Chain A
Amino acid sequence: MGQTFAQKVLARKAGLREVEPGQIVTVQPDKLLTHDNTAAIARIFREIGVEKVARPEISVIVLDHVVPAATEGHARNHQQIREFVREQGIASFYDVGEGICHQVLPEKGHALPGYLIVGSDSHTPTHGAFGAFAAGIGRTEAAAVMATGEIWLMVPHTFRISIEGQLQKEVYAKDIILYIIGELGADGADYRAVEFTGPVVGELTVASRMVLCNMVAEMGAKIGVAEPDDKTRAWLNGRSVAGFQEVFADPDASYERVIEYDVSGLLPQVAKPHTVDNVVPVTEVLGTRIDQAFIGTCTNGRLEDFRVAAQILGGGNIAPNTRLLILPASREVLLAAVAEGTLTELITAGAVVLNPGCGPCLGAHQGVMAPGEVTISTANRNFKGRMGCKEAQVYLASPATVAASARAGEIVDPREFL
């Protein structure tokens, strides 16, 4: 019997010929990702009583959650992390301003095909867009990985999701994944690995594949993965210093579910407050008044997202009494958007540009909302209180839908701006 992608990566890492779903294996990850929570992780690490990080070369630390520090507390936290990095000789440290961890890792060559990546952040599956097995973990176990270089993982069952057909104009990867989450539900892929396949995935850019894999966390999945191809190789070319070995599922692998979606007739999708699986076509929420529009995050803060936004704003302005926040996912994205003039267009249209980082997405600073306010966002979560206020509402959509809504001051169908 053939093996799924998840089985093959985990078997190889565990030094076994094959592994079965449900089996628990102890493996040595290729990368351990941590962010602003590294201070807390370092405290646990010290309590374990180990002097030195077992494998400092696998540790990648990115300050992104609240950057630059919003309060003295955040600043102390960052300070402790910088001290820990120095003390432990961790080379892959990216300080304030470099970007969101899930963008920085691939840019700096830390997310490679066939890699096993664990990260103390729930959106770690993003790196599956590069053919990596990338799963979110908690803090205590991140500290344990620092202490031992190892982690226990359960071999997941796998859903193979094939995306067929031809996307309409102004319909994007974000609409596809919102639709799938709406169909399967917030726990529809709990503990599962999700392999994305089919012609539409092949046509998507690597950045768009990152959108798909990023959001598998919102249906409970352990990992999402897109097979590496020439686009992946071209994206990685010149960035990666390490060698890697691509891993593909066997053609006769056994899947718990095989699901096909024909996206030819798919409309732009919107997740309504307060769960990510509360998904409807944009046509059902037309005219919903908005106060704020937000384009950015590890889901949709890349160059292609800002290009679409600039195109839709088309040299015009955003609506009066509406705020548009732009947050490039990394310094690299920011520089590219500056160089080609996209950012100038957005600023001219009335946007506020925030520094690379997680920003308003988790409600800790920047663009926090007031009671009764409504934001339409390209982020991945719309939980109650997510953007800092229990009595505020967050809608999730593609950059095209968010930009079009910013222009109109209410939720609109981006296809109107074709």
Chain B
Amino acid sequence: MTDSFVFKGRAWVVGDDIDTDMIYHGSYLPLTDPQEMAKHALEYVPGMEDFTDRVQPGDILVAGRNFGSGSSREHAVITLQYNDVAAIVAESFSRIFYRNAVNLGFPILEVAGVTRAVETGDELEVDANTGRICNLTKGTEVQGTPLSGLEKEIMTSGGLFNFLKKDMQTAE
């Protein structure tokens, strides 16, 4: 990976089991414009109702266990991407959310213990290449599991879409 996979930004910390209805509610599924989808990010997460008003480009979402559980809806990734959230760091991800993030080229990182190490508003440096998280506010570090192999290739291509295009061009 390149330096473009190192992110510096403010943290937003949410809890465990943040499901896809909380991230992007089912009633907005008919929306197709990502900018419109972006208006409803985290709307059903208690305490995060005004997230879309306050989030700044480059902010980093820090979540507990099982982030993105529930539906297979890709909107849950897109809504965060289009708020210019730089990356999601979670104790663990639900598997379809994880796949969707990889396939949409959205940087994610599994880091055990991260919710104990970070508070909302802390300044973080996330290195998706090495899996290292530096909490610049607290002067602490935590180590996560970086992507590898095919997942990493897809992610660094900017997602499955670009990965396939590249693949097909090579094939031609």
Contact = CB atoms under 8 A, between A and B. Distances in A.
B139 interface: no
Interface string A154-188: 00000000000000000000000000000000110
Given A136-B96, A140-B104, A24 B149 contact: yes
A138 B24 CA distance: 15
Contacts of A381: 21, 70
Interface string B137-164: 0000000000001110010000111001
Nearest to B159: A140
Given A74-B30, A388-B27, A187 B94 contact: yes
A21 interface: no
A48 B168 CA distance: 10
Contacts of B21: 381, 383-386
Interface in B48-72: 65-66, 69-72
Nearest to B99: A138
Interface in A56-97: 65, 71, 73-74, 77
B44 A385 contact: yes
A220 B70 CA distance: 8
B123 to A, nearest CB: 29
Contact of A220 (B22, B69, B71, B159): B69
A383 B22 contact: yes
Interface centre among B17, B69, B71, B164, by most A CB within 10 Å? B69
Contacts of A44: 161
A144 B160 contact: yes
A141 B103 contact: yes
Given A138-B100, A141-B103, A220-B95, A187 B164 contact: no
A141 B159 CA distance: 10
Contact of B70 (A120, A122, A143): A122
B92 interface: yes
B136 interface: no
Interface in A318-370: 362-364
Given A137-B72, A138-B72, A148 B26 contact: no
B74 interface: yes
A49 interface: yes
A206 B27 CA distance: 33
Contacts of A107: none
Nearest to B65: A187
Contacts of B95: 190-191, 220, 222
A147 interface: yes
A186 B69 contact: yes
Size class of the B contact interface (CB-based, 8 Å):
35 or more
B165 A190 contact: no
Contact of B30 (A26, A43, A73, A385): A73
Nearest to A220: B94
Contacts of B117: none
Contacts of B72: 120-122, 136-139
B49 to A, nearest CB: 10
B26 A139 contact: no
Contacts of A26: 150
Contacts of A363: 26-27
Contacts of B71: 122, 362
A190 B70 CA distance: 12
A190 B66 contact: yes
Nearest to A153: B99
A254 interface: no
Nearest to B95: A191
Contacts of B32: 40, 43
Contacts of B154: 152
Contacts of B39: none
A121 B66 CA distance: 18
Contacts of A141: 99-100, 103, 160
B70 A383 contact: yes
Contacts of B160: 140-141, 144
A52 interface: no
A187 B69 contact: yes
Contacts of A220: 66, 69, 94-95
Interface string B77-99: 00000000000000011111001
A397 B9 CA distance: 44
Given A136-B96, A138-B100, A187 B66 contact: yes
Nearest to B105: A140
A47 interface: yes
A224 B73 CA distance: 20
10 contacts: A120-B72, A122-B72, A137-B72, A137-B99, A140-B103, A143-B161, A187-B17, A190-B95, A381-B70, A385-B22
Top 5 A-B residue pairs of the complex, sorted by shortest distance between their CB atoms: A187-B66, A138-B100, A383-B21, A122-B72, A139-B74
Given A140-B104, A363-B26, A383-B22, 18 more contacts: A44-B161, A48-B165, A73-B30, A74-B30, A137-B72, A138-B74, A138-B100, A138-B104, A140-B160, A141-B99, A152-B151, A152-B154, A220-B95, A222-B95, A275-B19, A384-B21, A385-B22, A385-B25
